[in-house]
Chain A
Amino acid sequence: MGAIWFIALAAAATAPLWVWNPYHLHTLIMAGIFAVLALSLNLLLGYTGQLSLGHAAFFGLGAYASGLLTVKLEWSPWIGLLVAVALPALAGFMIGRLALKIRGAYFVLLTISFSGVVSLVSINWMELTNGPLGLPGVPPLAIALPGVAELSLRTKTAYYYVVLVAVTVCYLVCLGLVRSRVGRALVALRENETLAESVGINVTHYLVLATVVSAGMAGLGGGLYAHYTRFVSPEVFLFTYTVTMVIMVVAGGKGTLTGPVVGAVLFTALPEVLRAATSWQWQMLLYGILLVAVLFFMPQGIVPSLRAAVQRRA
């Protein structure tokens, strides 16, 4: 297991050195952004057992928050990123409070509705968001070094490392929460809410907490996306984003720490591989077939299944 970790970390740290093709590096950057999103969704879906089908809303809120602040008010993109975390986290807090007694299907509906509302606002509040035309000219991230000119993180290599740091931080946040009393309270909510309450776990408190952290993390993904693509439009609220996150979490292994990251890399790369390998008619069909195959043969997800296989051999 240690060797696998070492190889994966070494590969991730050196990727720009051996990934020559800029398009492949772009795919890796997107995989990193999706890894942040998948880690975020996994905190809710994998640990508390609550499915948020409006997760793109937090992602989109983050993208718009950072995009608007940097374009309209010309704030520093770094402060934009902070707000991209804070604003969705606040929205997550309100959703969590609303979901006081709402679980399962009702939680799903609440999150979908929220996503619908935010999406409509982004399309119709023309003065603020430019509506469907979107918001061009989002500035790239830059580091101001004292005495030297600003170092722009515009290149793919530089941005790759920004995203890598973000994935690492999000992973460590999840790890820290999960391997503590807090994480156990989240799992208790997933496993048996009534029993959790009867041993003194304030279930609502922990659900709100998970929603806040998860929403903030998804917002960070949105902010990173906005400053990478340099453009924000209402398409950030597309349901496809949420579905992609769910696929990554479930196929990778929900309720595990590495599962969402593995799922994010595989399912960002897969469409690109299929695009290169076949014609467009076959692309989505094969994607679907492969997804069904993964879920059929590894119902727990890729990471738990592989882990079990390694343990059997050992």
Chain B
Amino acid sequence: MSGVLEVRDLAVRFGGVTAVGGVSFGVDAGTVTSLIGPNGAGKTTAFNVITGFQRPTAGGVLHDGTAITGWRPHRIAARGLVRTFQKTSLFPALSVMENVVTGLHLRGRVGVMAALLRRGRVREEEQALRADAERVIEFVGLAPRRDTLASALAYGDQRLLELAVALAARPRLLLLDEPGSGMTASEKEALATLIRKIRADGVTVFLVEHDMRLVMGISDRVLVLNYGRLIADGSAAEIQRDPDVIRAYLGADARA
């Protein structure tokens, strides 16, 4: 197994506050890896740095051996690192179909000149993109909702649509920021199945999640962050037995 993503001595400080304080870890290709930790541990900040939305104070990020630290998000996405967001993030005024077709941006080739002068090519591309989008929508199970506006979807469906938009961008490494938050138990069950299917398709999945049942059920490996430091790294079973992790979650006096 090779490390598709390498994070080295990553530190992010906001003024005097240390969000992430010198963290190193790798994510192996073809795995589902989870990053967990109490609120404020620095999980989302780490995600933001990896995907280019936040510059680190120190340290760096390597993807397939290439340093991508400080790159702009769209360039990182073009390398196949695509993320979702903790707070639901969609194109609200567009339909499910339009959302996913927009997510397919990198798959298209038409530029201004073609858009103005080569309508035949545009039509071909539009048809191809729509067919692709249809497959993605089918995959996440939103086919009956394809013409519904994103803003009119039920919450659980909105989260599925976010996943669909991210998948449309053809990730090789998919970063999911609390994909299960606000979902019902059965929706989380379906989400776990989806994530397994995504991995089976050869996509590496890296997720931040609070729901331990979800995390332990799908993760090949779990990383635990507390107060900006990595305190544990291992299989789901190892993490559940780790005294440091138990202390971080339950308090200093807890005995397992």
Query: Measuring CB to CB, which residues of chain A are less than 8 angstroms from any residue of chain B?
Result: 173, 176-177, 179-185, 187-188, 191-192, 194-203, 209, 213
Q: Are B106 and A199 in contact (CB under 8 A)?
A: yes
Indicate which residue in B94, B101, B106, B109 contacts A200 across the interface (CB closer than 8 Å).
Answer: B106
CA distance A179 to B129 in the complex (A): 13
A-B contacts, 26 listed (Cβ < 8 Å): A177-B112, A177-B116, A179-B122, A181-B109, A183-B115, A184-B98, A184-B105, A185-B102, A192-B89, A194-B85, A195-B85, A195-B90, A195-B165, A197-B52, A197-B53, A197-B73, A197-B74, A197-B77, A198-B73, A198-B82, A198-B169, A199-B106, A199-B168, A200-B78, A200-B105, A202-B74
Which of A182, A187, A195, A198 gathers most chain B CB within 10 Å? A198
Question: Is B34 located at the chain interface by the 8 A CB criterion?
Answer: no
Residues from chain A with a CB closer than 8 A to the CB of B126 are: 179-180
With an 8 A cutoff between CB atoms, is B234 at the interface? no
Report how far A179 CA is from B168 CA in the complex, Å.
19
- A192 lies within 8 A of B73 (CB): no
| CB of B125 within 8 Å of the partner chain | yes
Please tell me if B236 contacts chain A, counting CB pairs below 8 Å. no
User: Within 8 Å CB of B52, what residues of A?
Assistant: 197
Main secondary structure of the interface of A (DSSP, over half): helix
Query: Which A residues touch B129, using CB under 8 A?
Result: 181
Query: Which residue of the partner chain, among A176, A198, A200, contacts B115 with CB atoms under 8 Å?
Result: A176
Complex Cα gap A213–B83 (Å): 31
- Is the beta-carbon distance between B105 and A192 smaller than 8 angstroms? no
9 tightest A-B contacts by CB?
Answer: A200-B77, A191-B91, A180-B115, A181-B108, A197-B73, A200-B106, A199-B169, A176-B116, A202-B74
Please give me the residue from chain A that is nearest to B117 by CB atom: A176
Collect the chain B residues with CB atoms within 8 Å of residue A188's CB: 91, 102, 105
Whether A182 touches B112, Cβ cut-off 8 Å, given contacts A199-B103, A203-B74, is yes
**With A180-B126, A200-B105, A200-B106 given, is the CB distance from A195 to B111 under 8 Å?**
no
Chain B 79-119 against A: per-residue CB contact (8 Å), 1 yes, 0 no? 00011010001111110001001110110111110111101
Specify the chain A residue showing the minimal Cβ separation from B116: A176
Check B35 for interface membership: any CB of A closer than 8 A.
no
Complex contacts, B108 vs chain A, CB 8 Å: 181
